[in-house]
A and B are shown apart, each in its own frame.
Chain A
Amino acid sequence: NAGVTQTPKFRILKIGQSMTLQCTQDMNHNYMYWYRQDPGMGLKLIYYSVGAGITDKGEVPNGYNVSRSTTEDFPLRLELAAPSQTSVYFCASSYLKSGLYNSPLHFGNGTRLTVT
C-alpha cells in the first residue's frame, strides 16, 4: 500500500541542467498534481492532470513541463534549471477533484531540489 511515491528524495542541479522528478500512485486516482513548497509561501500548484493524456497549468507553471501517459505516473520536467526553482516539490493525487469535501489530497514525501 505505497500511496504516492516520489523519486528522488534529494537532488542538486547546476544552473541550466535538466531533470525529471518522478511520481507514481497506486490508488487508481484520476487526479494528480504537482506543488512546490517554499518557506513562508505555502503550497503553490504547478501543474495538474484530470486523467491520462490531460494536463493543465496551475498557478506557477513557468519553467516546468508535465506529461500523463498513464493513470499511475505524472512526471515533472525541469528543462533549464534556475536558482528560483530551488524548492521542495510534492506530488499529490485525489480520487475526485481536490476541492471536494470527500476527496482529500494524498501527498508523496517530496523531492528537495537545490539549483546552484
Chain B
Amino acid sequence: QQQVKQSPQSLIVQKGGISIINCAYENTAFDYFPWYQQFPGKGPALLIAIRPDVSEKKEGRFTISFNKSAKQFSLHIMDSQPGDSATYFCAASTGGGYNKLIFGAGTRLAVHP
C-alpha cells in the first residue's frame, strides 16, 4: 500500500510533442505528490508538486493532473524540448508523522530533435 507505481519506464517523444508520465497509488492518506527531474550525473531536483485539494497545477510547460477518485496523477510536458531529456520520478507522502517520500521507479524521457 506504500508503493507508487510509475509508467512508462522509458519514453521517446519528438521535439514539440507532449510527454505524459503516469503514476498510481493505493494509500489514500497520501496528501503530497511531487515530481523530481534528474539529469545524467546529477541528483534529482524538485520540478513541480501538487496537493490533492486541486485537480491540476501548471508551471510553464509542465502540468500535473490529479485524479483523487482514481488514485492517479500524471505529469504532462507540453512542447517537449531536447533539454527536457531526463529521468522523472513521481513521489508521494502523508502529512502525518515523519512523512517520508515514497518514490516511483522513474521514467527515462528522450526528446528527439
Contacts and interface: CB of A to CB of B under 8 A. Distances in A.
B51 A101 contact: yes
Interface string A14-58: 000000000000000000000000001111110010100000101
B101 interface: yes
B100 A99 contact: yes
Interface in A54-113: 56, 58, 90, 92, 97-101, 104-110
B105 A98 contact: no
A104 B100 CA distance: 12
A105 B100 contact: no
Interface stretch (B41-49, B68-76, B77-85): B41-49
A43 B99 contact: no
Given A97-B99, A107-B45, A42 B104 contact: yes
Interface of A: 4, 40-45, 48, 50, 56, 58, 90, 92, 97-101, 104-110
